[in-house]
Amino acid sequence: MTVITEELNNHVGAELPPFEFEISRGDLKKYAVATGQRLERYLNGDEAPLLYLFAAMMPVLPLDRLLPDGRQPDSGLMPPLPLNRIMAGGSEYQIHRKVYVGDVLVCRQKLVEVFEKSGSEGPLLFLIFENRFETRDGEPVVTERLTRIAR
């Protein structure tokens, strides 16, 4: 018996409103120090390391909207799930060009696929999200395919 409901299937294709953000030298320098970068172009804040983009998707919310464990509430992209425990499945990036200080990027987030596999402890539900980073003109910069696993 499948755990994929019609409601879940109908959620495939859901998108968040796109948002813009500017690559700031100060933020790049802080990120470089915090992650232990050693190359000058990152320490100087001239260029963004790839995984700096993870930070761009973290919403800035008032303190009283944070969950008791500190996390931000899930975005509208996460569908209602029949399984309760969510695990990170990994990320795959396609890099079309480097990201530099001063770039203004648009981020588009979408749930693109849901599928099921059998695990040793029962069904596993795979949710595939696509996060696209583009210039304002629509030029692709980085595309991330992010997997979450529910069980």
Partner 1 sequence: MMTNRIEVGEQLTGRTWRADTVQLFLYNAAIWNPHRIHYDLPYTQEAEGHPQLLIDGPLQGDWLTQMVYEWLGESGTLTAFSYSNRRAAYVGDVLSTEGEVTAVDGDTVTLDLRITNQRGEITTVGNATVVIESGR
Least distance between partner 1 and beta carbon 10 (Å): 28
Q: What is the CA radius of gyration of the chain?
A: 17
- Exposed/middle/buried for 144, CB within 10 Å: 0-12, 13-18, 19+? buried
Contact status: 116 vs partner 1 (CB under 8 A): no
- The yes or no reply on residue 62 touching partner 1 (CB under 8 A) is no
Of 52, 50, 40, 44, residue with least CA distance to 25:
44
Binding pattern to partner 1, positions 20-49, x when CB under 8 A?
Answer: -------x--xx-xxxxxxx--x------x
Return the closest-CA partner of residue 57 out of 42, 74, 82.
74
Question: Is there a contact between 135 and 103 (Cβ–Cβ < 8 Å)?
Answer: yes
Stretch that binds partner 1, among 12-20, 70-78, 116-124, 128-136 (CB under 8 A): 70-78
Single-letter code of the amino acid located at 95: I
92 is an interface residue for partner 1 by CB under 8 A: yes
Contacts with partner 1 by CB under 8 A lie at 27, 30-31, 33-39, 42, 49-51, 54-55, 58, 60, 66, 69-72, 88-95, 98
